[in-house]
């Protein structure tokens, strides 16, 4: 599904990713962990196509196709979804209107007609129930005045609506209370299939109790420096990152 080779990227001449390799296959869940400032969000943004960064080396392939020249919306149309670490507010645009626009724009790009309102409503009902979202919430302005947890839950609601091939969840667990974490994680698990893949970026083992990863990677200083299975996350939780940093020296 996703294949990243020797990715090097910088912003304002500051090098952030320094030769990163990652391969994610359909049906897999990958967790990316790593200290603050390691480059996790940068990686997520670059996959999603944010153009603040300059890619100086390497390739990003999605289903065998180089996507590094594609606009972010084109990547989205190809099934890339990013749950933002810090979702932005769009005043006056309701959650419903936003997601309707997102779905119909994606359909338009694929040469499809707008989704009939009836189907849209049905889907909204299903997905909001799945994530235990109060429907009143959906008529509020996108992310405006949302609590930290509400923002994250809303990101996953959008993911559920858009049914992406590759979902990247950037610290979706931070800000969620214990119940919300379970609800959101269950939601993600329900959406998982053998045809799609999930990358979860997190600092805590807690989320990985619910969304069990096939692989855990440690990103440090712009590179993936260690990979393992789910047990690596448990080890990190217990020991922190120092031992890995020392291994590198």
Ligand X SMILES: Nc1ncnc2c1ncn2[C@@H]1O[C@H](COP(=O)(O)OP(=O)(O)OP(=O)(O)O)[C@@H](O)[C@H]1O
Residue 16 binding result from another protein, ligand X, Mg ion, none, given CB thresholds of 5 to 8 Å by partner type: ligand X
- Residue 203 burial by Cβ neighbours in a 10 Å radius (0-12, 13-18, 19+): middle
Q: Contact between 37 and ligand X (CB under 6 A)?
A: yes
CB closer to Mg ion, 40 vs 226: 40
Query: Which residues, numbered 58-87, are part of the site for another protein (CB under 8 A)?
Result: 71-73, 76-77, 80-82, 84, 87
Contact 189, 181 (CB under 8 A): no
* Residue 41 within binding range of ligand X, rule CB under 6 A: yes
| Residue 109 within binding range of another protein, rule CB under 8 A | yes
Using the contact rule CB under 5 A, the part of the chain among 12-20, 34-42, 139-147, 208-216 near Mg ion is 34-42
Task: State the CB neighbour count (10 A cutoff) for residue 135.
Answer: 12
Please provide the DSSP assignment of 209-232 as one string. Answer: HHS--SEEEEEETTEEEEEE-HHH
| Binding of residue 202 to ligand X (CB under 6 A) | no
State how far the Cα of 178 lies from the Cα of 181, in Å rounded to an integer.
Answer: 5
Binding residue for ligand X, selected from 7, 9, 16, 142, defined by CB under 6 A: 16
State in angstroms the smallest separation of the CB of 40 from Mg ion. Answer: 5
Q: Is 41 a residue that touches Mg ion (CB under 5 A)?
A: yes
CA–CA distance, 6 with 55 (Å, rounded to integer): 11
What residues contact 70, with CB distance under 8 A and at least 6 apart?
A: 49, 78
Residue 165 near residue 1 (C-beta atoms within 8 A): yes
53/137 with CB nearer ligand X: 53
Q: Which residues sit at the interface with ligand X, rule CB under 6 A?
A: 11-12, 14, 16, 34, 36-42, 52, 85
């Amino acid at each position: 599904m996703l294949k990243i080779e020797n990715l090097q990227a910088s912003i304002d001449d500051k090098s952030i990713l320094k030769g990163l390799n990652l391969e994610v296959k359909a049906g897999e869940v990958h967790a990316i962990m790593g200290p603050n400032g390691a480059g996790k969000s940068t990686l997520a943004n670059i996959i999603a196509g944010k153009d603040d960064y300059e890619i100086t080396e390497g390739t990003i392939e999605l289903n065998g196709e180089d996507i590094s020249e594609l606009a972010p919306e084109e990547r989205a149309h190809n099934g890339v979804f990013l749950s933002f670490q810090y979702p932005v507010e769009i005043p006056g645009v309701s959650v419903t209107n936003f997601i309707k626009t997102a779905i119909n724009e994606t359909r338009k790009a694929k040469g499809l007609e707008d989704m009939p309102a009836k189907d849209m409503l049905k889907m909204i009902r299903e997905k909001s129930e799945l994530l235990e979202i109060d429907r009143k919430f959906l008529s509020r302005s996108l992310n405006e005045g949302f609590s930290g947890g509400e923002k994250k839950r809303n990101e996953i609601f959008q993911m559920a609506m858009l049914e992406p091939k590759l979902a990247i969840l950037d610290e979706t667990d931070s800000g969620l209370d214990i119940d919300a974490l379970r609800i959101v994680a269950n939601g993600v698990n329900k959406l998982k299939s053998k045809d799609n893949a999930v990358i979860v970026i997190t600092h805590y083992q807690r989320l990985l109790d619910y969304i069990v990863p096939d692989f855990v990677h440690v990103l440090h200083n712009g590179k993936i420096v260690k990979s393992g299975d789910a047990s690596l996350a448990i080890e990190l939780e217990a020991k922190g990152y120092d031992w890995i940093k020392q291994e590198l020296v």
